[in-house]
Amino acid sequence: MADQNTPQEPRIIKVALLDHSEPFVVKQGDSYRGLLVDMLKEAVLPSGAEFQVVIRPYARAIPELLAGKLDVMFLIRIPGRATFPPTDKVIISQPILVTPLNLYAREDNDIVINTPTDLGKYHLGGVRIRGIKHEAKTPGDPKTSYFNNPEQLFKSLVTGRIDMAITGPIIANYWQEGLQARFVTKLQLGKTITQFIFSKASLQDAAIPLCTSFMKQWATPRTQATLQESAKRYKTKVFSSLIRIPPPTMPDEELCFSVKDYLEYEKKAQSK
């Protein structure tokens, strides 16, 4: 693994989390907490390992994962807009969260959307993710501004700089509480998918067993309870409809895949 240790020392799994993504990652002094950090604490339990969180922009995390400088990262992708790394260099898990990508407006803002083309009347805002292209057009071709983090995005929504914010319900709920505002969903644009992704360069033959261990732990009642408790701690919600838990009968070989095999699995699942 990255940062090899002597056999007497605990193994350390180096995990990359994306920057500027409260409440998923919250900086506290020189350390980090948040929903993803709490999820990691539960996920690594069966492996007997420790983990070290490093914060990386998406554009830097992927090359470091492929080079073996990182062991694991959370891959948050928008289907059709974010590509996977090369298929022979990583192992990817089943989705763990599938989250709507919504348009949120202030409750007191009189915004009416009868058809998607009505979006052209409004100014939208989103969070810039370095390394992911944002050229994809929204119906109606509205003016869209991108901010460095969700805090800037939602403060701009509250002050009227933008009319609607593009994000998911976990982040929107968190900033609604933090800014003491009321946001309402106006339209669902799509979804984001969160998965574990493991470096074969650093983990080698341990990549699939570690991924499988993570996914089995993810499905335990204890982990699900921890996630809900964590959400309350950060004054947000993780709705059960967002969580993807592999059924107990799912064979190990369907928990973790090469990217090529996963895309084939996903295609077959969608066609059923």
Residue with tokens 């915004």: 111
Determine the Cα angle at 212 with ends 202 and 272, to 5°: 120
The DSSP bridge partners found for residue 16 are 54, 73
* Residues whose CB is less than 8 angstroms from the CB of residue 189 and which lie 6 or more positions away in sequence, other chains included: 101, 102, 103, 138, 166
Quick: pLDDT tens for 98-116.
999 999 999 999 999 988 8
Q: Which of 14-18, 136-140, 154-158, 210-214 has the lowest mean pLDDT?
A: 136-140
- Strands 50-56, 123-127: pairing kind: unpaired
Q: For residue 96, is pLDDT > 80?
A: yes
Quick: pLDDT tens for 214-239.
999 998 988 888 889 999 988 888 88
Going by pLDDT thresholds of 50, 70 and 90, the confidence category of residue 131 is low
CB count within 10 Å of CB 166 equals 20
- Predicted model pTM: 0.86
